[in-house]
Structure 1
Amino acid sequence: MDLLQLRYFRTVARLEHMTRAAQELYISQSSLSKTISHLEHELGLPLFDRQGRQIKLNQYGKTFLQRVEQAFAALENGQRELAELTNQEQRRISLASMSVYLLPNLLQAFLKNHTDISIRLFSNPRRETLAQLERGEVDLFISSPPIEVTTVEQTSLMMEEILLAVPQGHWLAERETINLSEVAGEAFLALKPGYRLRELTDTFCQQAGFTPHIVFEGDEPVALLHLVKAGIGIACIPSLVWKSFPEMAVRSLHITEPRCEREMLLLYSKEHYLSSAAREFRDFIITYFAQFNQKRPA
């Protein structure tokens, strides 16, 4: 058994398709099939269930894949740690967040005193980003809500209040607080299904006793704010959006019932090596968000 066999197995297990795996690995399909067969013979167990041209990772394959991933993670961690010890590792960090509005002020504050560090940003769907985190492609992930994955460390950053955004001149614009049930008949703007803020909007409205009448679905809270400003509808918007765009001429109302908030967390893998740059940034993020943990109005 060698690393090449394991790398080939890892690719086939991920794709569950021999032809596509061979194309990705730039080898012939017959060579790849022979390599996988030799590996199974060496282990004394089949790793895939085969039905014609279809292959699917079986229970033995899934168990073995976990150990293979751990082995590659350990090797990659070792390479990065040795490179850092010999000053060969460039000070790079990969950060993921689905809430892009959080990043400009955060990055500006950090990079001001860390000019030797470069940061690569990701903003993929949550499931895809978690997979990147577990593969070691992403160092840090700002996310919500908590997850049940034992290989991922989770640090609570803050409880972020969700506010109701209404346009200037709206019949609620002079109010400071509101019971969400009062806007059951209003047109709502929301993120597309699959986004956490959309799930929260639907849940809060259901708790208030109604299903929101959604007239627009978007990808970014800031886009929703612009449409609220134009009078197209109202929207549930995280409080930090206003701190990022204080000039936005939109009224924000505190929702007293139900309680509307979400927990923001910082996630990172327990199994992948965090460089000194990533550790510095992790600590900075925790301190940075502590300033926003303020009590909301009763």
Structure 2
Amino acid sequence: MSRNDRLLKKAQWLSMHEKMFKCPICGSSMKVQQLASLVCENLHSYDISRQGYVNLLSHRAKTKYDKALFEARKMINSSGFFGPMIEGISNRLIRMQKQELPESGKPLRLLDAGCGEGSHLSAIGHNLREQGHESNVVGVGMDIAKEGVVMAAKTYSDPMWCVADLSQCPFADEQFNYILNILSPSNYSEFRRLLTSDGMLVKVIPGSLYLQELRALFYTGTGKETYSNDGTMELFSRHFERIEFEELQYRVVLDSEQMKQLIHMTPLSWSVSSEVIERMSGGEMEITADFTLLYGWK
């Protein structure tokens, strides 16, 4: 798909769904103008980029998540490391669709808050379409890290991608049936505002054994060898009246190149010396994936 075709497709998508959006600066409604920009009632304007995403930040954002990190994360995603976790979420949403949204004409609106380079949302959307929801899945991915959103827009044409801040989500109230928040920071007040009355938040957090092999090698003798998600789970429980959770644990063998990418993609390595990282990334290793999948309803 050429850049012009991508731009036109995204402009048409935004025209169809412009009521989903609100201006992050003044909160007013928005419309697509000249198939090139989202413009609010007070004339705050946000251009559709040539890659097919919209930058809806109202301020400059500094982040340590750079292009190299997202390239590493994309490679790890393509290796299948997150496959069972993606399958678990997809199966849950498919069951929910069959049980709670039986109307064939009712669209499913899905937001990935903290979408990174887009692999998770794209895979889950694909799985939902495989189950017969092809024309009814409205996917939106947002992240404050522009490099990740640019990569998502270049790689995946189906969802709409936005650079945006969780504290000022550029969406109107009660727009999404499901919000995904996968290994990413949360803003529960915004999530509750954006969910429909029967909507569900899916939050994925690391379990105590997640990447335990890296922790053991990076943090031996520092007291950081172990991790607890108790505080995150307690905070989650304060914001939702109905809660369910699943624990998912498995092990994946990664080759030396995949190990290098895994180390580069995780913030666990940010405070570790290059010498330690170099020693770790020299060969094949079996790595633990350990996730807690939290489901919350308003």
Query: Do they fold alike, i.e. is TM over 0.5?
Result: no
Structure with bigger gyration radius: 1
TM-score of the aligned structures, taking structure 1 as reference length: 0.30
TM-score of the aligned structures, taking structure 2 as reference length: 0.30
